[in-house]
Amino acid sequence: MAEIDARLREDVHELGELLGHTISNQLGADFLDKIERIRKSAKGARRGSREGAEQLSASLDQLADDELLPVARAFNQFLNLANIAEQYHRVRRREPQEGEPFEACVLSELLQRLLASGHKGEALARQFARLDIELVLTAHPTEVARRTLIQKYDAIAEQLAAGDHRDLLPAEREQIRTRLQRLIAEAWHTEEIRRSRPSPVDEAKWGFAVIEHSLWHAVPRVLRKADQALQAATGMHLALDAAPIRFASWMGGDRDGNPNVTAAVTREVLLLARWMAADLYLRDIDQLAAELSMQQASAELLARVGPSAEPYRALLKQLRERLRTTRSWAEAALHERLEAPAMVLQDNRELIEPLSLCYQSLHECGMGVIADGPLLDCLRRAATFGLFLVRLDVRQDSSRHAAALNEITDYLGLGRYAEWDEERRQQFLLTELDNRRPLLPGHFKPSAETEEVLATCREVVAAPAASLGSYVISMAGAASDVLAVQLLLKEAGLQRPMRVVPLFETLADLDNAGPVIERLLGLNGYRARLHGPQEVMIGYSDSAKDAGTTAAAWAQYRAQETLVQVCRDKQVELLLFHGRGGTVGRGGGPAHAAILSQPPGSVAGRFRTTEQGEMIRFKFGLPDIAEQNLNLYLAAVLEATLLPPPAPEPAWRELMDRLASDGVAAYRAVVREHPQFVDYFRQATPEQELGRLPLGSRPAKRREGGVESLRAIPWIFAWTQTRLMLPAWLGWEQALDAALQRGEGELLAQMREHWPFFRTRIDMLEMVLAKADGNIAQLYDERLVQASLRPLGEHLRGLLSQAVASVLSLTGQSQLLAHSPETLEFISVRNTYLDPLHLLQAELLARGRQRENQTDSPLEQALLVSVAGIAAGLRNTG
């Protein structure tokens, strides 16, 4: 077993020690001793000690009700501190002999490879400048950490960085330790869990905070280093207006199944984004006005500001006044609808032009070294974030549009839209899209549901085009779903193009995606309304929930292949939007590998993907971490564009067809067809309790019903808590085992060696299996599941063991992650703190189910803390 880096181990030890001091100070040395006994017995139990296992179980059983919450909090806080230490370790100062981490040099190494493979420098620079990567930040129903705690955790990371110098004086080191002690005490004495659900506006503010505290600083650093790498490789610089990475958001725009996201909420979030953008630029402009005190300026700049001893400051003060007016108007408009004064900035060019004028003037006057400082960073931010910070997507379910149109056609005496076949729907929609008269009379009084759909469309019309991204249609299944949204937007008065994006989610919809887009692109008039690429969203969450990850992954791959070919044949650019979650069961995993495993031609300089909930925090919460992850995105999209993977061999495709067929049959045999499955799921996991907890603004269910009614995130989250991780692997065990039984092991090995798609799937499967733990899942069964259902749990754990055996057979390893011993060791260290939380959670669930309707009780609070701790320890929820 590899040792964890000594510096990381020291940080974890120090943070744990300081947490122990804090606990002891509040609850006494005896209570801390109890925590330590639990930890040591968990460690012994993990190493196979029967005595340790018995002592652990006894210690937890003996806890009084009033001890459950502080014990859960202790282990939860330690796992959060371990996360901070591990995250900081990724970006810590490196000794000269250590070399740069992969993330820091991935782009420059790729550029050299591309040159060596025959790409010309000028063409490379042009392609890089044209990259169009958009990361879409989404809220997360299982994000449990409060924003105030996240800020304290960030401050702890800053102190670890401050202490990462060998030449610190003893007094300086003691000062840092004192600050760490204070911050850990602040975190311990702060309630981890919010008492009420966040609103969609709260979620949007959380997203804005990530931009303010991290991405605002990371983006210019990433682009500065990309420019240096590009210049070193090609001799060319990155254009000032290049924005290879931009950001969009679903927070405040995603109304699919969330009645809390209304047209009024969308308007409020758009205005808050404008306020935040203006405020952030004002901070930049204040700094620039203080620094750019030079007198010499270009004739163009002097002509703009007139006679001035400090021309740069004179121009920047004009911009500052407009930003202040913009901020004041946005704040006032939150409370009443106000026309924007002429001074309000409306177009990004109004922000960039004065900054560019200062930049060019400084270069003309021999002060390029000044121009290439904070002024250049501000220009990069302006190109990336613009006046609207993020582009807000709107998302709604296709059934809501169909219901609105049904009400309209019924009112107009045209028949019932809901009863029409696809041909008649298309004919009606195309006719009305081309008709110059309004469809609806002014006196039409819609139902509340239809009025909300129409009100949303009116907000889209009222918002500046640059503030909006795409209108995404959930559960799209036909060309009419896209035309319906276009008609509703036209009826609201939209006279500019907007991308209307079908989202294909289920297995059947993914298989039908190509034909639907082919039909759409063949319709008269549709192409004329299509400005820019045809965007299509691929759903990872619901397809995996519908069919299991084996069949879903292959369906997603084939759908992309078909869409690439359809758009190529129709001579239309394609933009694929990947609805990936944080976990393997929802298309998650390392983005770099995932992008490089996409079908050839599917990443043609463009890439759009969701970044969800706690993964936003882990990947972008700190500027240095954000910088690493943005580098990976840049390099992966450039490589996938210019060095795409080869198309799979016919034999690989045939075997993948068999794997998918076996996988979906095995998955559905359990999830859909086993008569006891739903009852077992609800008893063995905290699924029902999760639905009551104040985790997010969106309900856990779309409607009443069984597993099919659950959203994909809580479905996966519930299994993650018990460590069975069922949705991420179920189906693979049968698919791989059948292939090995057929003697196809050599072909599987060949696919893993030469096909990035298959290799990435197996790597992700191996990672999730390494985090799964059948023994922990069994403990939940023993405490929570009635005897008649336990054989099903035993059967599922047997399938888990089968999945592990199949992966080990395929990889030729003696244990999972043998190729990554440090990762394996860190999982092992975390298990010492996770095991007590799992046992505690099972006990809390059992006690809570015996005492129903005790919401907001210490038991309920302790349960939620255990949920948060397990999520933190496993580094994912859903």
Q: Is 33 exposed, middle or buried (0-12, 13-18, 19+ CB in 10 A)?
A: exposed
What is the distance between the alpha carbons of residues 558 and 599, in angstroms, rounded to a whole number? Answer: 8
Q: Of the listed 140, 225, 619, 838, which one is catalytic?
A: 140
Find the mean pLDDT for residues 443-463: 96
Q: Is 56's pLDDT higher than 90?
A: no
Question: Residue 789: its pLDDT value, please?
Answer: 97
| Pair 282, 320: CB distance under 8 Å | yes
Find the mean pLDDT for residues 635-654: 95
Size of the chain, expressed as the number of residues it contains: 878
91 or 853, which is more confident: 91
Tokens coding 710: 């659950």
Tokens coding 290: 């203080």
| Pair 124, 853: CB distance under 8 Å | no
To the question of domain 271-383 being in CATH 1.10.760.10, the answer is no
Question: Residue 254: its pLDDT value, please?
Answer: 95
Question: Residue 145: its pLDDT value, please?
Answer: 59
Q: Please state which of the ranges 327-336, 481-490, 866-875 shows the lowest mean pLDDT.
A: 866-875
Any residues with CB less than 8 A from the CB of 592 and at least 6 apart, and which? 106, 632, 633, 635, 636
DSSP assigned state of 197: P
Amino acid at 138: T
Any residues with CB less than 8 A from the CB of 215 and at least 6 apart, and which? 247, 620, 623, 626
Question: Residue 854: its pLDDT value, please?
Answer: 59
Question: Residue 540: its pLDDT value, please?
Answer: 86
Distances from the Cα of 863 to the Cα of 192, 478, 554, 689, 838, angstroms: 12, 43, 37, 9, 10
Residue 136 — very low, low, confident or very high, per pLDDT cuts 50/70/90? very high
Amino acid at 256: D
| Pair 728, 768: CB distance under 8 Å | yes
Amino acid at 695: L
Find the mean pLDDT for residues 508-526: 95
Find the mean pLDDT for residues 180-186: 95
Residue with tokens 């935040």, as numbered in its chain: 276
Residue with tokens 């709260």, as numbered in its chain: 202
What is the distance between the alpha carbons of residues 603 and 518, in angstroms, rounded to a whole number? Answer: 19
What is the distance between the alpha carbons of residues 291 and 287, in angstroms, rounded to a whole number? Answer: 6
Q: What is the pLDDT of residues 144-175, one digit of tens each?
A: 556 778 788 889 999 998 988 888 899 999 99
Q: Of the listed 43, 225, 490, 545, which one is catalytic?
A: 545
Amino acid at 573: E
Q: Is 545 an active-site residue? A: yes
Residue 585 — very low, low, confident or very high, per pLDDT cuts 50/70/90? very low
Amino acid at 327: R
Q: Please state which of the ranges 14-18, 553-557, 706-710 shows the lowest mean pLDDT.
A: 706-710
Distances from the Cα of 769 to the Cα of 43, 594, 827, angstroms: 21, 18, 12
Amino acid at 34: K
DSSP string, 407-460: HHHHHTTS--GGGS-HHHHHHHHHHHHH-SS-SS-TT----HHHHHHHHHHHHH
Tokens coding 192: 């981890």
Share of the chain above pLDDT 70, in %: 94
Any residues with CB less than 8 A from the CB of 62 and at least 6 apart, and which? none
Distances from the Cα of 837 to the Cα of 83, 150, 722, angstroms: 16, 21, 10
Tokens coding 741: 């039984």
Residue 417 — very low, low, confident or very high, per pLDDT cuts 50/70/90? very high
Residue 139 — very low, low, confident or very high, per pLDDT cuts 50/70/90? confident
Q: Is 140 an active-site residue? A: yes
Domain boundaries, the chain: 271-383, 394-573, 650-839
Q: What is the pLDDT of residues 337-364, one digit of tens each?
A: 999 999 999 999 999 999 999 999 999 9
Q: Is 267's pLDDT higher than 70?
A: yes
Tokens coding 79: 């796992």
Residue 490 — very low, low, confident or very high, per pLDDT cuts 50/70/90? very high
Question: Residue 695: its pLDDT value, please?
Answer: 60
What is the distance between the alpha carbons of residues 469 and 492, in angstroms, rounded to a whole number? Answer: 18
Question: Residue 706: its pLDDT value, please?
Answer: 55
Q: What is the pLDDT of residues 737-762, one digit of tens each?
A: 999 999 999 999 999 999 999 999 99
Q: Is 712's pLDDT higher than 70?
A: no
Cα 321 from chain centre: 36
Q: Is 701's pLDDT higher than 60?
A: no
